[in-house]
Amino acid sequence: MQEFYKKALLALVFLLLADALAAAVLVHSSYLTVNLLHRQRDGAHWRYVGRTDEGTSSVRVGDAKDDVLRFDLRVTNTATYPYASVGLELEDGKGKPALADWTKYSSVTFLAKCAPSNSLSFAVSVFDDKVSSPGRFETYRSPGTYFSCNKQGVPVSLDMTRMTIPDWWFTTMKLDVTHQGYTLDKVGKLVFGTSLNSPRLVDSHVEISELTLRGRDYRYLAALALILLAGWSAFGIWFFRAHARALIASLDSRLKKDRALVAYRQLTLEPYKDKEKATVLRFIATNYTNTELDLECVVSGTGSNRNKVNEVLKTELGMTFTSYLNKLRLTEAARLLAEKSSAAVAEIAYSVGYANVSYFNKLFKEEYGCTPKAFRSLATQQPAPAACPAEAAAEPAAEPSSTPANAVG
């Protein structure tokens, strides 16, 4: 069994390491990130377009260097709804309006620097098949939100799934304002602009960097779950099957060893010259099934004293009286469990000298590593353990015919 447990431990360590590696790779892969200011591989790119109100507000977009969006703006009070914004309109390789599927992404992060400090808006223009016209962004659904920035730079993280579509869009499109739902499957534009709290009549400089989409692809987590389930299922099946085989082999070895040890084993080779020793061993071997048997019974039944009995058992078998008595009983119980499938465990316990079945179960499990029921189940998977040789008795003609086979050899 020790060899089996070593193999099982190595297999468990290997499985844990493999699971940890798979978890690290797949969990990391499940986190999706896309830097929006990098040029797209398929040729799609952003076209920066500044827009303002019909008054004297202004906006100027700088060169996009080092993946940083820079623009300057100034908002005046001449228009009814003053604003200034910069739109990032997605175009394909031919310069035509394009759409991107962002359903795998739930948030957008960026670093916002403003001088002076400002409160700005962020919006996403999403094409709606029912009401939108390609390239006319005013017809796209435009859910948005707000963020703050300062000269030192503020890390911003916005949940794109919980933004609000402005009321003016519903009014313009003549739609019910309760229809706030949107999906990020056809995104055509991003907008950074001023808000009602933006400073007026002040020249402002804004820098947006590290503009990144973030999301989760739960297919990787599902794959991880399947890998873990398959791995642990395979380990469990292997463990229980291998454990059963190892336990059967261990029990078989233990039974063979025990049968060579129990009953006065030296008498299996030659008669004891010390008749007192033979008498002690023979008495125990022929009376071990008696539930009342104890050291005092042996002393009175053999005429020896306690010290002599203990000396015999210690010298010849290396056991105490209690250990040897339990060895005899448990070995016989193991034989009966393997050979008599119809006999109840309690019946067998009583037949070998145990009046308490619970105590018998406890001792049996300590001896063989499994319960009597499990032992019987395992025993059916191999040839029934053979009884000890009948010629084990030192003086076979003098032995009673009722002496158990395992007790005399």
Tens digits of per-residue pLDDT, 112-121? Answer: 999 999 999 9
Tens digits of per-residue pLDDT, 131-163? Answer: 999 989 999 999 999 999 999 999 999 999 999
Q: How far apart are CA 364 and CA 359, in angstroms?
A: 9
What secondary structure does DSSP assign to 156-208, as a single string? EEEETTS-B--HHHHHHHT--TT-----TTSEEEEEEEE-TTSPSS--EEEEE
Determine the pLDDT at residue 392.
34
Q: How far apart are CA 166 and CA 100, in angstroms?
A: 22
Domain 262-407 architecture: Orthogonal Bundle (1.10)
Q: Quick check: do 36-216 and 262-407 share a fold?
A: no
End-to-end CA distance of the chain: 26
Domain 36-216 architecture: Sandwich (2.60)
Cβ burial of 213 (10 Å; 0-12, 13-18, 19+) is buried
Determine the pLDDT at residue 409.
30
Q: Which residue's entry shows tokens 């690290």?
A: 24
Which residue did the predictor score with more confidence, 322 or 396? 322
Tens digits of per-residue pLDDT, 171-218? Answer: 889 888 888 889 999 999 999 999 999 999 999 999 999 999 999 999
Residue 264: is its pLDDT beyond 50?
Answer: no
Q: How far apart are CA 337 and CA 349, in angstroms?
A: 10
Q: How far apart are CA 147 and CA 253, in angstroms?
A: 76
Q: What's the whole-model pTM score?
A: 0.61
Q: Which residue's entry shows tokens 């991107």?
A: 100
Sketch the domain layout of the chain as residue ranges. Answer: 36-216, 262-407
> Per-residue confidence at 289, pLDDT binned at 50, 70, 90?
confident
Q: Answer for the pair 390, 404: CB distance below 8 angstroms, yes or no.
A: no
Residue 316: is its pLDDT beyond 90?
Answer: no
Residue 400: is its pLDDT beyond 60?
Answer: no
Residue 245: is its pLDDT beyond 50?
Answer: yes
Q: What is the mean pLDDT of the chain?
A: 83
DSSP state of 236: H
Determine the pLDDT at residue 160.
95
Determine the pLDDT at residue 405.
36
Q: What percent of the chain has pLDDT over 70?
A: 85
Determine the pLDDT at residue 143.
95
